[in-house]
A and B are shown apart, each in its own frame.
Chain A
Amino acid sequence: MATPGIKKKADLKVIILGEYSVGKTCFVNRYIEGKFEKTEATIGAAFFLKQWGPYNVAVWDTAGDERFSGLSSFYCRNAGAAILAFDLCIENTFETLKSRFVPLVDQATEDNCFKVIVGTKLDLLKPGKRKVTVDEARKYSREINPNVEYAKLKHDPYFETSSLEGINVDEVFEYIFGHCLPLSDVERIKMKNKNRGTVDLGESTAMTPEKKGGCC
């Protein structure tokens, strides 16, 4: 069921793109529902609304099948951030990001979109089976965001994730929001407490919201 009762227009639109069956829906589900579920192939595109502090974030989960590429101009338009997902175990899925999805986003958003490369299924990656090196992916993630000031970011827009084990999923979204929707310290703390559903007395109010070093 969709989140009810939110009428305001979304402050940020995040889209997730990538080849068929790389795990986009599982990734979004892990973030929205906080759990891993087997999912069916997405038909067209699915829409989620999520609160981030005072902001509304619209998340579009899209189908990777080529036959739905006609829809892309609709969901890419005005997207503030794009999560470009590929399967760490399948090299081809990284190549299609380059050949198909990145150009698609650039065309539809006129280069104003923050693009984050996300390798999925880290839990399935066996030692020695790696097809795309971390350096290669990081380098590429820099290349496709020429207008971003990297000094302000903690690291390159590249993550390796596992939706099954919940590794780096929330981090991807927080990284994006941190860049696109910076929160004031007060808001950050408010939100943290709200997310836990409790008022956190133990921690000092001047906490440093340092997160673990992303992927690498």
Chain B
Amino acid sequence: MDESEGKEAEQVPPSVRNPDSASASDQDDFVEPAPEEIKNAVLVAADTFEEINYDDLVNEDYDSHPSGVIHAIVRSGSQDEHSSSEHNDTSTGEESSEDHNEIPKDLSAALNDVVLKELSAPVEEIEEDEYGKGSQWRQEKKHIFILSSSGKPIYSRHGQEDKLVTIMGVLQALISFVSAAKDSMRSIVAGDHKFVFLVREHIYLVAVSKGLESVQQLVLQLSYIYNQILSVLTFTSLQKIFKQRRNYDLRRMLSGSEKFIDNLLNLMDHDPSFKLQAVRCLPLDSPVRESIAQSIIQHARVKDLVFAIILANNQLVTLVRMKKYFLHPMDLHLIINLVNASESFKAAESWTPICLPKFDASGFLQAHISYLDESCQTCMLLLSVDRESFFILSECKKKIQERLIKYNGLQAISDSLMKTSYSCQQCGISDLRHFLYKSRSMAQYTSPELEAPYLSDEEQERLFGLYLYLHNRIHTSVRPLKILYHVGKHETLLGWVTQQFELYAVFGPLITKHTAIGAINKLLRWIKKEETRLFILNSATF
């Protein structure tokens, strides 16, 4: 499904630009490069934010198609004895029967009342220890609540979820009240707070934020968290659990995996790759990267091995995949989160099941996870559909490791990690402070190091907020933009989206529109020149 979506998106004829009024007069200066054909992408050409489509995300069935890919691989391997997934009835496409109309005004006002009473009640009404954290709890910037459709608490980002039964109850009541009217709850804005709802078949996810994220961006975050839960349980077993007992306490099955949700939320708060739906690659000269990939291809020719991935410091070093199958950036983000959140892989080779919901929500892949270097910076994951292949993969790992040491692959990786990516000055553009560049067809992005004035945590958070704003203005479903030029108090922002790329640039406040445009064109040329180092252009396959 995702592949076809990606292709469709590429075939859309270049539409007439819809420039923001501020940049209308200058649009001729933007030279939009012709879209390139990418024949051999590493990742699924990602849904960009608008292609993900808000309506799809809030549709209950969107994420829940068990695609049975794992089954197909196992079958084609003619070795059916250890099938790692149970086959599931495939659900029938997307349902659009649900009416996603906005909630009528008076109802929304009534709801606000209820929620405000509960969540903005005066401090003294709520006992200090009721939430485990007292009034501090109230001050948190972003709350995430997960509950089962019967209202049982599953997770709360702050406080103890079992102490929050009343709030979970209110949220459940709100959702079911609205759905009883054949409508669905999307969001409520109350004062500074946004309440955003994501309703899935058995699980409700709610974000309450007073941060800068838009409703759409919060929905995306919720859907990441939902996928994180699936990656632990699979959709099939989630469904089975709740079919057997509607009021099952899911915390039991998720025990030990709360930290992955916590970590994912923290990552999403400061890492742009999630909202961009793109992965960042470790800068490496392309022959070096090529040789690393070759090491894997030569020594990991194992039946049933679907993906081999090397990560370093949350960046992708290389990805080798089975010819027929692609990895979705969302799945790769979950893998990165798994490695990022856990120290336990550093101790020994590990063998663990992981479900990649975009790849196949119905079953587990088995992951052989190990670090390749003594300092535990370079992590390799071998993902197979064969539950028994640990020792085969362990052998592969040894050979790959030997080869990477022999041909200095590991050295190159650690050198690149030491060098701290690249400075914005290297692009040779004065007044350019920072940028994010995403190649849409490759689902990869690049950005320079954070430098002055973005060194303190507050400043970095402010910069991240600027990107959120820019990203949201451009991708808002109400009125998507192609180009946005925004003069702010402390910096000038320029966002530009074409068929080929998304670019978000931050300049000093005094730059003129004319220089900014010149700078952007220069930047694009620089990126083109550095392309082979910053991105993985050709994907390696087994």
On A, residues with C-beta under 8 Å from B are 1-2, 4-5, 7, 20, 25, 29, 39-48, 61, 63, 65-68, 70-71, 74-75
Contact = CB atoms under 8 A, between A and B. Distances in A.
B385 to A, nearest CB: 14
Contacts of A61: 348
A44 B252 contact: no
Interface string B377-411: 00000000001101000110010000000000000
B253 A45 contact: no
A25 B353 contact: no
Given A41-B344, A47-B390, A67 B350 contact: no
B347 A70 contact: no
Contact of B388 (A5, A46, A74): A74
13 contacts: A2-B348, A2-B349, A40-B342, A43-B352, A43-B369, A44-B350, A45-B351, A46-B344, A46-B349, A47-B348, A65-B257, A66-B255, A71-B353
Contacts of B349: 2, 46-47
Interface residues of B, number: 33
B374 A1 contact: yes
Given A70-B364, A71-B353, A65 B348 contact: no
B224 interface: no
Contacts of B256: 20, 41, 63, 65, 67
Contact of A39 (B344, B369, B388): B344
B356 to A, nearest CB: 15
Contact of A74 (B253, B255, B345, B387): B387
A41 B353 CA distance: 15
Contacts of B374: 1
Given A4-B398, A65-B256, 11 more contacts: A7-B395, A20-B255, A25-B344, A39-B344, A41-B344, A43-B342, A44-B367, A46-B349, A63-B256, A63-B352, A68-B353
Contacts of B367: 44
A2 B370 contact: yes
B284 interface: no
Interface string B437-463: 000000000000000000000000000
A68 B252 CA distance: 12
B348 A67 contact: no
B343 interface: yes
Contacts of B344: 25, 39-43, 46
A67 B241 CA distance: 12
A43 to B, nearest CB: 5
A4 B371 CA distance: 13
A100 B153 CA distance: 26
A45 B342 CA distance: 13
A45 B255 contact: no
B373 to A, nearest CB: 8
Nearest to B255: A65
- Chain B interface helix/strand/loop/mixed: mixed
A194 B369 CA distance: 31
B232 interface: yes
B511 interface: no
A39 B347 CA distance: 9
B350 A29 contact: no
A47 B352 contact: no
Contacts of A4: 398
A44 B395 CA distance: 19
Contact of B352 (A5, A48, A68): A68
A44 to B, nearest CB: 2
Contacts of B348: 2, 46-48, 61
Contacts of A67: 232-233, 253-257
Interface string B8-28: 000000000000000000000
Nearest to B364: A70
B429 to A, nearest CB: 43
A149 to B, nearest CB: 32
Interface in B317-375: 338, 342-345, 347-353, 364, 367, 369-371, 374
- Between A1, A4, A43, A46, the greatest number of chain B beta carbons within 10 A of the residue's beta carbon is seen for A43
A43 B255 contact: no
A193 B351 CA distance: 34
B351 A70 contact: no
Given A65-B255, A66-B252, A45 B347 contact: no
Interface in B205-259: 232-233, 252-257, 259
A25 to B, nearest CB: 7
A181 to B, nearest CB: 20
Nearest to A32: B348
Report the 8 A-B pairs with minimum CB-CB distance, sorted nearest first: A44-B352, A46-B348, A65-B256, A40-B344, A40-B343, A47-B349, A46-B350, A41-B256
Contact of A29 (B347, B353, B364, B394): B347
Contacts of B395: 7
B384 to A, nearest CB: 12
A47 B255 contact: no
B350 A47 contact: yes
B285 to A, nearest CB: 27
Contacts of B347: 25, 29, 39, 46
Contacts of A75: 351
Contacts of A43: 338, 342, 344-345, 350, 352, 369
A29 to B, nearest CB: 7
Contacts of B369: 43
A40 B342 CA distance: 7
B252 A74 contact: no
Contacts of B390: 47, 74
Contacts of A66: 252-253, 255
A71 B255 contact: no
B372 to A, nearest CB: 9
B232 A1 contact: no
Contacts of A29: 347
Contacts of B257: 65, 67
A45 B350 CA distance: 5
